Structure 1
Amino acid sequence: MNIKLVESLIQAILSLSDEERSLLEEKLFFDLSEPSTGDLMLLAQTGRVFQILNDEPDIYLLKDGELI
């Protein structure tokens, strides 16, 4: 473990302004390479993956979820 590096990083982070810390947090925690929930919802809505479900019979009642 490189303790000197860790301590140097901590000192560098502590010396940042609030704006710089916010940018660092954004880059570390929010810039994910994974699609967002909204992206996945849009894909599910516009993609044809679930199209086969339109051909399935309705076997439950809408009001109570019981089998017909």
Structure 2
Amino acid sequence: MNAQLVESLFQVIMSLSPDERTLLEQKLFANIPYPSNSELIQLAQSGGCFYFLNDEPDIYTLEDGELI
């Protein structure tokens, strides 16, 4: 890793005006695609953040509530 180069780049970026920083951000992040809905769903399913729901009791049925 070239820490000196990183530090130099950081110093240059910090010396930019707000408009120049905005332009730099646009250039850096312009080609990064947003994830599709299916990619987000896959991430949510495989990420593990909803695994706790597997231990929750099934207290609702299709007969509960009003139809939408």
TM-score (norm 2): 0.46
TM-score (norm 1): 0.46
Report the structure number with the largest CA radius of gyration. Answer: 1
